[in-house]
Chains A and B, each alone.
Chain A
Amino acid sequence: MSKETSLHGVHKGLGALFTDFAGWSMPIRYSSELAEHKAVRETAGLFDLSHMAEIEVTGPQAADVLDFALVGNLSGVKPGRARYTMICDETGGVLDDLVVYRLADEKFLVVANAGNAAVVAEALAERVSGFDAVVDNKSEDVALIAVQGPKAVEILGAVTDADLGALKYYASVPAVVKGHDVLLARTGYTGEDGFELYVPAGEAPAVWRILTEAGEPHGLLPAGLACRDTLRLEAGMPLYGNELSLQLSPYEAGLGRVVKFEKPNDFVGKAALEELSKKDVPRVRVGLKGSGRRAPRHGYTVLSGETEIGEVTSGALSPTLGYPIAMAYVDREHSEPGTELSVDIRGRIEPVEVVALPFYSRA
């Protein structure tokens, strides 16, 4: 039996089609995933992301324990700001990618992927040992609602007194949305401007309703996981389980910049990551652009001539761009933008070109 978010009844009322995702029953789409995708690019979309895990780390050494437990320099993050980072194992393999909000000097909120919630919570609980800090998994109590798209500011601005103009990308602020206390963050996973609202689970249906009403005149649509995936793919953002895994380090993923060796103290995975940082990894993440309508998909083989040189990790016919796009891991010598490769699409060899990520950037 899949877990349900506090918004499940709302989704049912909207006629959502559900899918099991990481043990959660989540809306995959409400009507048309292409319409939802377009809404996020052109007006706004409303997402339920309550399956994500929220883990609070508090105490005098909260920053220190996160510096030790994660690859980023969290003590260098100012209160009110957020950071994209990763948690690795001793070998440098990625346990999960995370967004960490510093809420106060001694208080952080770590947001993990639903599928890795237990792994991250356990790793943090283990790594806090010896530090004067407390790790508290708040996932059950916290719902997460995202408003993403060019109209997000107008929609949210109508229902909160928070100064949205002053809220920078990757920043958060406690705010009130028509009487409901939320943590309002300017973060997202769609390549658009937008906000994520951390809400007490019981209040999520009310906040969803408020945002729906405020969004109606702007064309806001409820948006499911199907369009979330095509949006993040166009934005070149990695998905754990596709572009990231325990078998890969941040370097293969092209995300070595998140590893901060200049931190004063040791951190889990440091020795292995230092070794990896010194050499060229054999395979790297690239973008592929196809022609026609057939999309390379997860698991398909990438070829140079007749030689297998990589594998597709995510792909779709880009709803915004109108041509097939994919991310893949390919041998380093074939990773330069402009390189002509091909993908075996169910027995048909279709040409693709290596292109720089992201595929889509908002104007």
Chain B
Amino acid sequence: MSIPQDLKYTKEHEWLNVVDGVATVGITAFAAESLGDIVFVQLPSVGDTVTAGEVFGEVESTKSVSELYAPVDGEVVEVNGATTDTPELINSDPYAEGWLLKVRLSGDVPALLDAQAYAVLTQEN
């Protein structure tokens, strides 16, 4: 399974791409594959604040429900409405079309995994 080299990862299987203080957040291909076909996603609204380590939404597949944990503190500046309308985008293109949120960071970027460390984590799973 592909793990893009230029992204950062959490142990909870989110990916992050931080550019100019704004983090684009999604879930990894590994997470999407483990969940199965995603049929529902619940996301916060633009203007909501998220707190690192706290739940900001959920994804639901045919068989299971998973909570989404914010990897950073900040304000939601954009939500990918395409994923709420077409949740299967998260399965088919988790690192591009299937992104979930853009968050303007209000604090420091926490320690995250690089692609290599994330690859090790998913192999352990």
- Bound Cα distance A33, B40 (Å): 15
- Interface readout for A1-32 with B: 1 if CB under 8 Å, 0 if not? 00000000000000001000000000011001
Complex contact B37–A33 (CB within 8 A): yes
Q: Shortest distance in angstroms between A223's beta carbon and chain B's nearest beta carbon?
A: 13
- Bound Cα distance A33, B60 (Å): 14
Complex contact B39–A317 (CB within 8 A): yes
Complex contact A226–B36 (CB within 8 A): yes
Complex contact A33–B65 (CB within 8 A): no
- Bound Cα distance A293, B87 (Å): 11
The interface residues of chain B, by DSSP majority, are classed as mixed
Q: Contacts of B54 on A, CB cut-off 8 Å? A: none
Q: Shortest distance in angstroms between B33's beta carbon and chain A's nearest beta carbon?
A: 7
Residues 305-344 of A at the B interface (beta carbon under 8 Å): 316-317, 319
Cβ of B125 under 8 Å from chain A: no
Q: Contacts of A34 on B, CB cut-off 8 Å? A: 37, 39, 62
Cβ of A295 under 8 Å from chain B: yes
* Smallest Cβ-Cβ distance to A37: which chain B residue: B62
- Bound Cα distance A229, B64 (Å): 13
Instruction: State the interface size on chain A (CB cutoff 8 A).
Output: 17
- Sort chain B's interface into a size bin: 10 to 19
- Bound Cα distance A262, B37 (Å): 48
Complex contact A29–B40 (CB within 8 A): no
The interface residues of chain A, by DSSP majority, are classed as mixed
Cβ of A187 under 8 Å from chain B: no
- Interface readout for A153-169 with B: 1 if CB under 8 Å, 0 if not? 00000000000000000
Q: Contacts of B33 on A, CB cut-off 8 Å? A: 17
Q: Contacts of A294 on B, CB cut-off 8 Å? A: 40, 60
Q: Contacts of B63 on A, CB cut-off 8 Å? A: 28, 33, 226, 229, 316
- Bound Cα distance A297, B62 (Å): 10
Complex contact A226–B60 (CB within 8 A): no
Complex contact A230–B40 (CB within 8 A): no
- Bound Cα distance A346, B57 (Å): 12
- Interface readout for A91-127 with B: 1 if CB under 8 Å, 0 if not? 0000000000000000000000000000000000000
Q: Contacts of A17 on B, CB cut-off 8 Å? A: 33
Complex partner residue of A32 from B37, B58, B60, B65, CB under 8 angstroms: B37
Q: Shortest distance in angstroms between B15's beta carbon and chain A's nearest beta carbon?
A: 21
- Bound Cα distance A316, B64 (Å): 9
Q: Shortest distance in angstroms between B45's beta carbon and chain A's nearest beta carbon?
A: 16
- Bound Cα distance A230, B39 (Å): 13
Given contacts A226-B62, A294-B60, A346-B58, list 15 more A-B pairs with CB under 8 A.
Answer: A28-B63, A29-B36, A32-B36, A33-B36, A33-B37, A33-B62, A34-B39, A226-B36, A295-B40, A295-B60, A297-B65, A316-B62, A316-B63, A317-B40, A319-B62
Q: Which 4 residue pairs spanning A and B have beta carbons closest together?
A: A293-B40, A34-B37, A317-B39, A32-B37
